Amino acid sequence: MDRIDNVNADLLDLLQTDGRMSNAKLAEYLSMSETPCWRRLKRLEESGIIEGYQANLNRRKLGLGVMAFVQLSCSEHDPDATAEFQRIIENTPSILACHNTTGADDFLLIVVARDLDDYSVFVDTTLRRLPGVTSIRSNLSLREMKSSNRLPIRPG
C-alpha cells in the first residue's frame, strides 16, 4: 500500500484517537458500510501501516515520576558490541525509546524511573554497564508540555 487516500487517512486518524473503536462505529464515522471499512482496516494492518494496538498509560499514576533524556557516546562499534548493546536496550523496560543519532553523541534514550534515587541506580546498574559506553549525559524533564504518539496523517 503506497498511497493513503482521504478515507484511509480519516480511518487512521479515528483509530489514533480511539484504538478500541468498533468496525461498526468506524464505518458510521466514515459514512460507509461495515464490510468495505473492515477490508480497508485489514489492508492497513497487512501492509504494516498499522503495527498494533495498545493502551496509553499515565506514567505518573503508575509511580514513574522521572523522565530522562539520556545521550550516550560509545567507543566500540563492532558487530558483537553493537548486538549486545541492542539486546540490553530492547530488554530493559524502563528504556522507552532509543535512537542512533547524528551529532556529538551516538544514542539518545528516553528513560523512566520512579524517582531520582531509582534513576541513579538505573544509571549505575544498566547504563554504565552497556558495552563501549564512554559518556552518559542526562537531561531530566521538569514539565511535560506535550506527549503524543499520534502521527500527522495526510492523504497522498
138 touches 69 (CB < 8 A): yes
Give dist(CA 31, CA 112) in Å, integer.
42
Which pLDDT belongs to residue 1? Answer: 58
User: What are the pLDDT digits (tens) for 5-43?
Assistant: 999 999 999 999 999 999 999 999 999 999 999 999 999
User: What are the pLDDT digits (tens) for 108-122?
Assistant: 999 999 999 999 999
> pTM of whole model > 0.95?
no
Which pLDDT belongs to residue 5? Answer: 94
Report the percent of the chain where pLDDT is more than 90.
89
Mean pLDDT value across the chain: 94
User: What are the pLDDT digits (tens) for 127-137?
Assistant: 999 999 999 99
Q: β-strands 66-74, 133-140: how paired? A: antiparallel
Q: For residues 150, 152, 154 and 156, what is the CA-based torsion angle, rounded to 10 degrees?
A: -90
Which pLDDT belongs to residue 2? Answer: 63
